[in-house]
Amino acid sequence: MKPFLDLVGASGAAYRFRLLPDGQAHVPIAGNYVVVRPRGEGVKVVAVAATEDLSRAAGEQPAEIRRGASLYTRLNVARATREAEHADLAARYAPAPAESATPAGEG
Please tell me the distance from the alpha carbon of residue 77 to that of residue 1, in angstroms, as a whole number. Answer: 26
> Where are the alpha helices (H) located in the chain, listed in sequence order?
57-60, 63-66, 79-93
Contacts of 105 (CB under 8 A, 6+ apart): 39, 40, 41, 42
What is the number of other CB atoms lying within 10 angstroms of the CB of residue 63?
7
Average pLDDT over residues 99-106: 44
CB 74 within 8 A of CB 19: no
pLDDT for 51-102, tens place per residue? 999 999 988 888 888 888 999 999 988 999 999 999 999 999 986 554 444 4
Model's pTM, two decimal places? 0.84
Average pLDDT over residues 36-63: 92
Average pLDDT over residues 12-17: 97
- At residue 77, the pLDDT reads 80
CA 3 and chain centroid, separation: 13
Please tell me the distance from the alpha carbon of residue 47 to that of residue 59, in angstroms, as a whole number. Answer: 13
What is the three-class DSSP state of 13?
coil
- At residue 96, the pLDDT reads 58
